[in-house]
Structure 1
């Protein structure tokens, strides 16, 4: 991993800090230096699918090779900022930063007639807003550009370049608009219909996995299967390892997954119907990836030694430093279909080399370095396949986002592995990315995965989708099934629960049907009905004579009166008389069984500790045993067929007396209520007195 080099200002004058910052970013940070560094006005990111970073003035949104560079001295701070920011965490979404830098440059010239960052002030900040408002009127992108400007201004203050620059925040009208999934305009409605695949299209994707026979189809259909058991981003399966499938003690299966966008490592639980398909997909990918894994492991563990493969024509024991002739080189590089097809085999050795160098640029480069040997080919192989992919180069020799070596990658293949006309490089390795997956599913490359099997949509048309659409479909199905937001976000690997709304493509008709189910009620719903319809569950529906609504928990509803005092149970709900379980409430029984297993495990450990004479362990045995008994009893009541759905189940009040009641009884007072007393006041009267 590249060394992180930070810059700390020495609190001299802004001009001195600026000069030191530029020198630091130009001389100490190597990122993009191989592309010309500060001497050029365009860089490309090191991602496999490179993104251009062009330091130019705004050209009206035109694209092309001709552009006008940013003027000096502003260009130096722009390049310094981008290089510093990218070397900390290289992003492919760099265009947001460039738009802001262009606007600041234009504002400096408009206000001060000089592209000098030392002259930036509040007037320039206001001019930037004016420029972007004119350039992108009413655009949702302004929210992103505003965020980029906040970061840039903070950078200038932090590095001492503009320490007096006013604090700036995004203008109020630069708000992020509603998600397209929530909009109701015709354009958004049309987008929503296309965004979520139909059931027919998803079944066709499953059919590809069933029908696959060729290695190319086996590979890509297996990758798609790993996107169909749980919502995931299309780039995430490519960092899976061989031992990614695991099983818990209760028999449930999961895939060890690394979700992007800050979520990190997690377990993606596999639904029971998808267990066997996921196992088969992993088996297929393990088999297909083996040659590539062997190649990269050999290259790493044997530096300076070229891996001999079946196409090599040199005899056993051929020295690593002995020059290769033309035929031996072509065989080692798996070039018979390319080089030999272009070059007359009757030519002399020197002429053949020269013609190959003319036809293939990289061959000319290696020939200029002297005689070609296996040792040089080994170095070339390691340099090319380690360095042509920014993901592999960054964490080499580990797989990105993991601490496992690249030769444990589940989805590793070889260069040209599935190419129809070019021979596979038997000594190579290659980690595909989401763009290659989208090529298999979309319109860019023909034939697609669906076209190779002749699969059509419900209207007989061709099927095209992106790798993100199975994620949308699964999220929508989860919303239809009533999955709660927290569980859905965890399942999908989303940090923010609010992001669920971007993937909910339920139709307008479905929302209307849900509304009718609520508005059509003639009587108050029961607690179970209200919970299933995601309505507030009132105390009255739970048999509690109090105004208000209950608080949902993992195992039921809390009816504790927080107006009297804070909760005294610290989340120990199953031992509280103010906690109710409702039979039929989704997920309640499963969660109680999971809690029962955890408490039983803790009880076993406490008993072992008590048997060893550890101080205080016996108290834990008493507490955990009491808790386990209540949990097990509630489970039996929920599983009892004689208990109707919707039944409200509480623990006996005597099992959880209040501190006040205990104190009164200790002093000999009677705490039982006399419900037949003539002094009893009706609840309706109390409400009337209180103004309800």
Structure 2
């Protein structure tokens, strides 16, 4: 491999024009390089090429047609402009021959934006005449992309290589990525992002409660799709994992061992492709039993799939004898019903469609188990191109065999309508999980929510990102005192900086955590309200009751000067016939009478200061009795307004008092004068007005 890399070298001629260097560069990449040449259906002029790093294909569609469905063949106006498509193909083949990587889709998005910028500015887009304004325009087109900074980095790499090959003008190389410093991903969406941006990455709580509700239902009410969604969610909440890592779970991935304290600890053991290492992720005690139940459920629904995979790994020549297979010899001709039964179809029509796809005819006659097995083997090779693995094997480490994988499903096992195939396997795709938790309306489809887990179970359509569960577990760990170093190791990340991106805390949470660490947090407990029966246990004494509670004082402190002031206020307006108000007034009257009687008993026992309570309560009781008499007077029609003449306690008096204070004039309180000097002095003063 290293020897091949040394041979990949194109040296431009500085004496030639950029156009000539470009033509020679394209010719070299097309005729000299061999990358992807051994892939099926690869041709230089094809509209799609293989992306071997991701085991998929990519198309040379333009900026507007990037979302074109794979089942639709792109038209000429939906592809990259002919003047640029060979430039792009040459760059990709040269770059990936030098250093293969997994960012090809990002490079294509950068090329699409640059192509659109050139087409908008030139009648015939010429890469040799590219200008900084074209890169600025491409950046504008990418401004709404979540990964815009990374895409523009790819754009800079494209510029650098084309400049190195003397294809673009020299001055363009000075163009820089505008998404740096305050406009970088780090500041806008990463570790230093605003709180509201980080909050959007939080897992939808309603979605979690919905999944938990379905998980708690009797297992008989759930189909295999429900078990897959709920169980995978439970495991993703048991430790911070990526959805792609589900393909690395073995049947016994959940294991247990004693920790250093001798306590039984469950953990998930599997290989992490991103870090290329084996890991043991501890499962919190609160999730231990849930994780075990989830693993057991997945094991049960995939057991038959592993049994079939094990049989297929032996390169069998005989039909797989599943539970419903017709009990006939391998070379005996089958009836139409037996053909459908052998292939696992409940209805003949679906079976006919399968036979038509593989034989060209709908006829179900003339088949034996031996002949059907040849059709099954051909379909198996097409559905499982990497068998016995579910994904493309890497040279340094092979993935799990399907017979070893916890996520070993049979074809159509997760379908809503079709019967599960007893003879065909289907590699598990993380999209099977993602798409079922996406309640977004697909306006361009007849069935706008084809797989939505939430609407299937009668809930509102929601959306849950599988990666948000990883962030959710990280934040919970941080909030409960786990260090960032431990979280980074637990999450199988390369650096602490990556962990900081996801450890979002609200200002209230940070304050609570800091208070807990500094031991400055004081817990306040709200006392329950006192009931009327509990209040009666106090007896009667130097306190008074209101609808808000009990005001506790001493005989010597005297009564509260604000108690029952509503009846002394000229602003009070009552309504004759108001039963609720009448009941409240009667209750206040009875409470005041009991207080007056308690004060009288206190005086008789020698507590002279209780006389202040009697002086305060006496006029209050009289006014309350008068108000009750008026409100119960049958001669006054219901609905009549009742206004009491108060002791000048009104809003106007408050304004006068405020202005007098500003002028340095002290206004004496009549109520206080009455308590200190008696009512007679107040009456004399009023005669002077």
Q: Distance in 2 between matches of 1:296 and 1:358?
A: 21
The 1:169–1:263 alpha-carbon spacing in structure 2 relative to 1, beyond 3 Å, is farther
Correspondence for 2:271: 258
- Does residue 437 of the first structure (1) align with residue 433 of the second (2)? yes
Q: Distance in 2 between matches of 1:108 and 1:462?
A: 41
Aligned partner of 2:241 among 232, 241, 255: 232
- Does the 8 Å contact 1:208/1:450 carry over to 2? no
The structure with the larger Rg is 2
Q: Distance in 2 between matches of 1:20 and 1:48?
A: 26
Q: Secondary structure of 1:268's partner? A: strand
Correspondence for 1:38: 44
Q: Distance in 1 between matches of 2:241 and 2:278?
A: 13
1:323-360 deviations in whole A, cap 9, x for unaligned?
7665554333223325269xxxxxxxxxxxxxx46995
Q: Distance in 2 between matches of 1:138 and 1:292?
A: 43
Correspondence for 1:276: 289
Aligned partner of 1:288 among 290, 301, 308: 301
- Does the 8 Å contact 1:303/1:378 carry over to 2? no
CA drift of 1:253 comes to: 3.3
Correspondence for 2:346: 336
Q: Distance in 2 between matches of 1:28 and 1:51?
A: 11
1:157-210 deviations in whole A, cap 9, x for unaligned?
78x68699789587252222324476887xx73872573333x75455445434
CA drift of 1:509 comes to: 2.7
Correspondence for 2:415: 419
Correspondence for 2:110: 100
Correspondence for 1:174: 179
Correspondence for 2:374: 376
Q: Distance in 2 between matches of 1:374 and 1:229?
A: 44
Q: Secondary structure of 1:494's partner? A: coil
Q: If the length of structure 1 is used for normalisation, what is the TM-score?
A: 0.58
Unaligned segments of structure 2, at least 5 residues:
14-20, 441-448, 522-689
Aligned residues: 483
Correspondence for 1:149: 155
Correspondence for 2:489: 490
CA drift of 1:428 comes to: 1.5
- Does the 8 Å contact 1:245/1:253 carry over to 2? yes
The 1:161–1:427 alpha-carbon spacing in structure 2 relative to 1, beyond 3 Å, is farther
- Does the 8 Å contact 2:439/2:452 carry over to 1? yes
- Does the 8 Å contact 1:208/1:221 carry over to 2? yes
Q: Distance in 2 between matches of 1:393 and 1:62?
A: 25
- Does residue 407 of the first structure (1) align with residue 424 of the second (2)? no
- Does the 8 Å contact 2:130/2:168 carry over to 1? no
Correspondence for 1:507: 506
Correspondence for 2:88: 78
Correspondence for 2:28: 20
The 1:464–1:63 alpha-carbon spacing in structure 2 relative to 1, beyond 3 Å, is closer
CA drift of 1:268 comes to: 1.2
The 1:138–1:277 alpha-carbon spacing in structure 2 relative to 1, beyond 3 Å, is closer
1:409-448 deviations in whole A, cap 9, x for unaligned?
0111111114343211101222332222123433265785
Correspondence for 2:468: 469
Q: Secondary structure of 1:37's partner? A: coil
Q: Distance in 2 between matches of 1:394 and 1:486?
A: 33
The 1:151–1:303 alpha-carbon spacing in structure 2 relative to 1, beyond 3 Å, is farther
Correspondence for 2:605: none
Moved more, 325-334 or 107-116: 107-116
Correspondence for 1:29: 37
Correspondence for 2:135: 129
Q: Secondary structure of 2:508's partner? A: helix
Q: Distance in 2 between matches of 1:153 and 1:182?
A: 29
Q: Distance in 2 between matches of 1:191 and 1:301?
A: 50
CA drift of 1:482 comes to: 2.9
Q: Distance in 1 between matches of 2:416 and 2:428?
A: 17
Q: Distance in 2 between matches of 1:62 and 1:263?
A: 32
- Does the 8 Å contact 2:437/2:464 carry over to 1? yes
Q: If the length of structure 2 is used for normalisation, what is the TM-score?
A: 0.58
Higher relative contact order (CA 8 A, sep 6+): 1
CA drift of 1:291 comes to: 1.0
1:210-253 deviations in whole A, cap 9, x for unaligned?
43503523333221221111111222223211232344563543
Matches within 5 A, 1:461-610: 464-513=463-512
The 1:8–1:312 alpha-carbon spacing in structure 2 relative to 1, beyond 3 Å, is same
Correspondence for 1:197: 204
The 1:509–1:334 alpha-carbon spacing in structure 2 relative to 1, beyond 3 Å, is same
Matches within 5 A, 1:210-229: 210-213=216-219, 214-216=222-224, 217-229=226-238
Q: Distance in 1 between matches of 2:520 and 2:34?
A: 70
Moved more, 134-143 or 284-293: 134-143
- Does the 8 Å contact 2:484/2:496 carry over to 1? yes
- Does residue 8 of the first structure (1) align with residue 8 of the second (2)? yes
Q: Distance in 2 between matches of 1:430 and 1:358?
A: 16
1:6-34 deviations in whole A, cap 9, x for unaligned?
96126475554542322245785244x52
Q: Secondary structure of 1:76's partner? A: helix
Aligned Cα RMSD in Å? 4.8
The 1:377–1:323 alpha-carbon spacing in structure 2 relative to 1, beyond 3 Å, is farther
Q: Distance in 2 between matches of 1:440 and 1:103?
A: 32
The 1:102–1:484 alpha-carbon spacing in structure 2 relative to 1, beyond 3 Å, is same
The 1:136–1:242 alpha-carbon spacing in structure 2 relative to 1, beyond 3 Å, is closer
Matches within 5 A, 1:275-354: 275-313=288-326, 315-316=328-329, 318-319=330-331, 326-339=336-349
- Does the 8 Å contact 2:117/2:138 carry over to 1? no
Unaligned segments of structure 1, at least 5 residues:
342-355, 523-692
CA drift of 1:466 comes to: 2.6
CA drift of 1:108 comes to: 7.1
CA drift of 1:363 comes to: 4.4
- Does the 8 Å contact 2:340/2:347 carry over to 1? no
- Does the 8 Å contact 1:107/1:124 carry over to 2? no
Q: Distance in 1 between matches of 2:501 and 2:483?
A: 15
- Does the 8 Å contact 1:314/1:328 carry over to 2? no
- Does the 8 Å contact 2:191/2:502 carry over to 1? no
Q: Distance in 1 between matches of 2:426 and 2:196?
A: 40
Q: Distance in 2 between matches of 1:333 and 1:359?
A: 10
Q: Distance in 2 between matches of 1:340 and 1:441?
A: 28
